[in-house]
Amino acid sequence: MGPFEIAAIAIIGGLVYSAYEVHSKNKHRTNKADVDALKAEIQQLKERVVTLESIVTDKSYQLKDQINRL
């Protein structure tokens, strides 16, 4: 193996390593718009759960359920 081949391997190895570093840094980055959309969806789901909880714990709902069981 000559000096040019060793230099070429070193240069290619350095380029591959720097590309891997850039890939690793960008892999964990998230899009702010996606995060905001997910937060909005979670808030909507929380509001729906509160509404459903209020319906189920309502006395008239429980009474209807008891009547239906008879």
Residue of 11 and 66 predicted with greater confidence: 11
User: Does 55 share its domain with 65?
Assistant: yes
User: Are residues 69 and 39 part of one domain?
Assistant: yes
35 and 13 in a common domain: no
Residues 36 and 70 reside in one and the same domain: yes
Q: What is the pLDDT of residues 10-36, one digit of tens each?
A: 899 999 999 998 888 887 777 788 889
- What pLDDT score does 45 carry? 95
Residue numbers of the domain that contains 49: 31-70
pLDDT at 23: 86
pLDDT value at 62 more than 80: no
- Residues 24, 6: Cα–Cα separation, whole Å: 27
46 pLDDT more than 90: yes
What's the pLDDT tens digit per position in 49-61?
998 888 888 777 7
68 and 39, same domain (yes or no): yes
Domain check: are 20 and 49 in the same one?
A: no
